[in-house]
A and B are shown apart, each in its own frame.
Chain A
Amino acid sequence: MSLFLRLLFRNRLAGFGAVVLGIIVVMALVTPLLPLHPPNVTNTANRFLRPLAEGHLLGTDHLGRDLLSRLLHGTRLSLAVGFAAALIAAVIGAAIGIVAGYAGGRTDNVTMRGVDMLMAFPYILLALAIVAALGPGLMNALIAVAVVNIPFFARNIRGVTVSISHREFVDAARLSGLGPLRIILTEVLPNVVPVIVIAMSTTVGWMILETAGLSFLGLGSQPPQADLGSMLGEARGALITAPHTSIVPGVMILLIVMSINLLGDGVRDALDPRLRSGALARPMAATLVDRKAPAPPARTEGLLTIDDLRTDFRLGRRTAHAVGGVTLAIRPGECLGLIGESGSGKSVTALSVMGLVASPPGVITGGAVRLAGEDLVGAPYGRLRDLRGNRVAYIFQDPLSTLHPLYRVGDQLAEAIRVHHAVSRAEAGERAIKLLVDVQIPNPRARIGAYPHQLSGGMRQRVGIAMALSNDPDVLIADEPTTALDVTVQAQILKLLDDLRRDRGLAILFITHDFGVVAQLCDRVAVMYAGRIVEEGPTQEVLDAPAHPYTARLIACVPELGTGRRRLEAISGLPPNVDDLPPGCAFAPRCDKAQPECRQGEIPLEGGVRRVRCLYPETHLPETELEAAP
């Protein structure tokens, strides 16, 4: 509860709403005790006195009645009626919702059909019909507004009840022989109350407005009794000659409804944990760059070189170092595999290349990414956009979520071409068909009109690859492109990528968690753990004789067909939390061979063509190779 209040008041607007509403409510409560003029005593000699007149702070109305007094009494009435309507609607609506949701089946069906019928009316029609039947009057207006809002509560509460009544603790209560009424009161109701509170806090403002509206139309409170709505309605006749008589009650309605709305928003935000964490921040067009040091010099040669790249996730007070200084290089026509468990930072490394890490929370804090010598970290957005999809293209993991669900695949391909080349729509369409031929999609002329959900997973990924190829890029970054596919399709896609690489001289950065895939496709492999490279070298050599214990364990995880001798081994323990890495080797806590030295100080990535970050490697790398370091 105290957390809730703290969250509520951290939201300054909600705090403001609470204060304003508090003042209004207190004033309404103490109104009878204040030394005011009686609200209904007319004095036609003093009609339409302006505000600040002698003895009448806010002036008088068309019958010479004191406006301040009428305002406070009217506020009292409006608040009382609005809250009463909200309470009635909430209680009846919640009762209907809980019964329907808990009973389920036919009861639920019939009840909710009825509720739907009520919702088929524009709300005021229903209210007008009820007032027409019962006759004008404040009580009848209250009933009308309450009834109109019952369906809203019933629907919301029913939804929550349905999900609660299938939870374990309700089943347990049922099995222990409690009756439905007991279960509803002791198990369901307490869990539904927060939802009722949220629904009330978001609708009570509306209900005050609606009752005021009915009074404004002359269908609510009847003279001489006046709520804010009927005050406004009576003042309308003198709108032009004495506007203050309209402005005074109108502003009061505005203040009440606004403060309730602000407070309601605050209550909802404080009770809804998803909004609380700020998870709904919008990722920007390019990852933020906050590079403290100047770009490091290029240490390696290649078409695409990454030097000491660092990418953080800034989550409130926590900072996770997702990529903690990665250095890689890819030459034209080469395929480099980047392998690691989920959370090792391999995808973040790949996305950092073109500034595609979601930001917030991602921030590139150091290092350089060079394409043919040009540093792209901190490059202007326009430059990044020019290169994206043009010289550096991406293929992502799950083509169902990465293709736009509502665009035809042909249009998505044509768009990829047209954002970089000034070609006509028709020509882009023709090229799209050629691309589909290139990725071996049968019947491409028919397929370009399909939506992604109409294609199989393998077909979708072929479309994803075709899209990546649409501008003949130099570098292809494939982020687990086969993980979501079944094994036979996976093999076809890998074959396709391999052919394309050989035909077009593409440089590929291939991200995966599967050594089997690396073995099929990659010339070299880099192994990533906790945001850093722990081993790197030609694929076959690393597979034959892994140097880092982590690499060795990863390879041991791959089943070998045909032999069936080796025991598959899982790696015990979990990958470390990159918020707060211990000094020394990040793998030490899971490593059998760890020594005390492993937990102290920085361990460098050493070697030449083959490099390893380990004090006690499984295989000693030959000295000659060390000297041949580039």
Chain B
Amino acid sequence: MGGYILKRLVSAIPVLLGITVIVFLIMALIPGDPATAILGSYATPENVDRLNRHLGLDRPLWQQYFVWVGNLLQGDFGRSFALNRPVLDEILDRFGATLVLAGTAFMLCAIIGIVAGVVSAARQYRFADKAITAAVILGISVPSFFLGMMMILLFAVKLRWFPVSGMYSMFGGGDLADLIRHLAMPAIALSLVATGVVARLSRAAMLEVLRLDFVRTARAKGVPERRVIWGHALRAAMVSIIPVLGLQAGFVLSGAVYIEIVFQWPGIGRMLVDAILKRDILLVQGGVVFVAACYVGFNIVVDVVQAWLDPRIKT
């Protein structure tokens, strides 16, 4: 197992390099002169030149790339000109909030999605299956930002069950209970689409597995049906559900951008959108690379879990 983890870690290096190349090339598409963009159109040519030299923008593209990656590796993500602080500090401040939100939503989508999918497959064509299928269709079609707004309207404004927005109460909050009250709505809104997708694929995976011979063997042994479904069949279906969960993590991270805006959650997604609107390029660049790297890391974890669940994978 140790060897396998090492192998996966090593294989992530080219992916990470590829990510930096792609981000760098996209940023090189920026029309016009970045220094002018930063300093505004009233800047003097001398100032523009000086800033260009300071940012290394007078060198060839490939040199700029290596300087940039070298700095990244040393933890130097550059400085956000809009916030006037190091990019990495800002990212790290924001990342915790996103992790809490996206992590909770991910757990919700994994647990509820798998349970719903298994129930749906076990009760195929019965009422529960039809109800879940209908809920899934609705769930994967509703835009999460619209859902979030409607939830605010119903649960925060009308019923007053949850606070409208934010991560902690302004006064007297800050403990775990306060966090959970603030987290409930955005996490549920964020998880809904992914829950639908996971439920749908879990159902398909279960239907696939339930026809296999070893399920018949379990029944022939006299294993109770509940154990056949939730034990034997689900265990085998997990092998095809886990990779889907890995993909859904990406969707949850993506959806977090909208949800953070709707619920004013102080996370990295909101930071990125603000940075784009302010044309704070280094902050965008750093944020994108950072989150993408986290996602690559998460997928390594998914692969390792997969290898641990399926002894047939050569580790």
Contacts and interface: CB of A to CB of B under 8 A. Distances in A.
Interface string B272-309: 11011101010011001001100110010000000001
B223 A419 contact: yes
B250 interface: yes
Residue from A120, A261, A385 with most neighbouring chain B CB atoms (10 Å): A120
B43 interface: no
Given A120-B295, A205-B141, A280 B281 contact: no
A218 B275 CA distance: 12
A122 B252 CA distance: 9
Given A128-B276, A280-B208, A404 B218 contact: yes
B138 A258 contact: yes
Contacts of A129: 23, 26-27, 284-285, 288
Nearest to B23: A129
Interface in A404-429: 404-407, 415-416, 419-420
Given A124-B254, A396-B213, A236 B219 contact: no
B184 interface: no
Given A117-B18, A451-B311, A254 B143 contact: yes
A4 interface: no
Interface string B225-258: 1011000100110010000000001110111011
Nearest to A121: B292
Interface in B129-157: 137-138, 140-143, 145-146, 149-150, 152-153, 157
A270 B63 CA distance: 54
A216 B254 contact: no
B213 A402 contact: yes
A212 interface: yes
A213 B223 contact: no
Given A212-B143, A282-B211, A403-B217, A122 B296 contact: no
A120 B208 contact: no
Contacts of B159: none
A257 B30 contact: no
Contact of A133 (B30, B251, B291): B30
Contacts of A250: 143, 146, 149-150
B88 interface: no
Interface in A232-258: 232, 236, 239-240, 243, 246-247, 250, 253-254, 257-258
Interface residues on B, range: 35 or more
A388 B222 contact: yes
A404 B217 contact: yes
A393 B292 CA distance: 53
A415 B140 CA distance: 39
Residue from B21, B142, B143, B284 with most neighbouring chain A CB atoms (10 Å): B143
B15 A405 contact: no
A628 interface: no
Contact of B223 (A125, A135, A217, A415): A415
B214 interface: yes
A120 B152 CA distance: 33
Contacts of A126: 22, 26, 288
Nearest to B272: A128
A404 B214 contact: yes
B212 interface: yes
Contacts of A416: 221-222
Contact of A406 (B261, B299, B309): B309
B54 interface: no
A356 interface: yes
Given A404-B232, A406-B235, A128 B288 contact: yes
Interface of A: 13, 113-114, 116-118, 120-126, 128-136, 205, 209, 212-213, 216-219, 232, 236, 239-240, 243, 246-247, 250, 253-254, 257-258, 261-262, 265, 280-283, 285, 354, 356, 358, 381, 385-390, 393-394, 396, 398, 401-407, 415-416, 419-420, 451, 453, 467
Given A125-B291, A254-B146, 12 more contacts: A113-B18, A117-B18, A122-B251, A125-B253, A128-B257, A128-B273, A236-B149, A246-B146, A282-B206, A396-B217, A404-B235, A416-B222
A239 B145 CA distance: 12
A251 to B, nearest CB: 8
A43 B72 CA distance: 52
Residue from A122, A135, A213, A243 with most neighbouring chain B CB atoms (10 Å): A122
A158 to B, nearest CB: 18
A133 B26 contact: yes
Given A257-B143, A354-B220, A401 B213 contact: yes
A394 B253 CA distance: 49
Contacts of A212: 143
Residue from A124, A131, A134, A205 with most neighbouring chain B CB atoms (10 Å): A124
Contacts of A261: 137, 140-141
A243 B31 CA distance: 39
B82 to A, nearest CB: 13
Contacts of A415: 221, 223
A401 B212 contact: yes
B262 A236 contact: yes
Given A280-B208, A453-B312, A122 B22 contact: no
Contacts of A114: 18
B257 A402 contact: no
Contacts of A388: 219-222
B284 A405 contact: no
B122 interface: yes
Given A239-B153, A419-B222, A219 B236 contact: no
A419 B221 contact: yes
A133 B29 CA distance: 6
A254 B141 contact: yes
Nearest to B310: A406
Contacts of B157: 240
B10 to A, nearest CB: 15
Nearest to A210: B254
Interface string B41-63: 00000000000000000000000
Contacts of A406: 235-236, 239, 309-312
B19 interface: yes
29 contacts: A117-B19, A120-B18, A121-B295, A122-B249, A123-B250, A126-B288, A132-B275, A133-B29, A133-B30, A217-B261, A232-B149, A236-B149, A239-B153, A246-B146, A254-B143, A257-B142, A265-B137, A280-B208, A280-B211, A281-B207, A388-B219, A389-B221, A390-B222, A394-B220, A401-B213, A404-B235, A406-B239, A407-B232, A415-B221
B143 A136 contact: no
Contacts of A389: 220-223
Nearest to A467: B221
Contacts of A254: 141-143, 146
Contacts of B255: 124
Nearest to A131: B276
B2 interface: no
B216 interface: yes
Contacts of A467: 217, 221
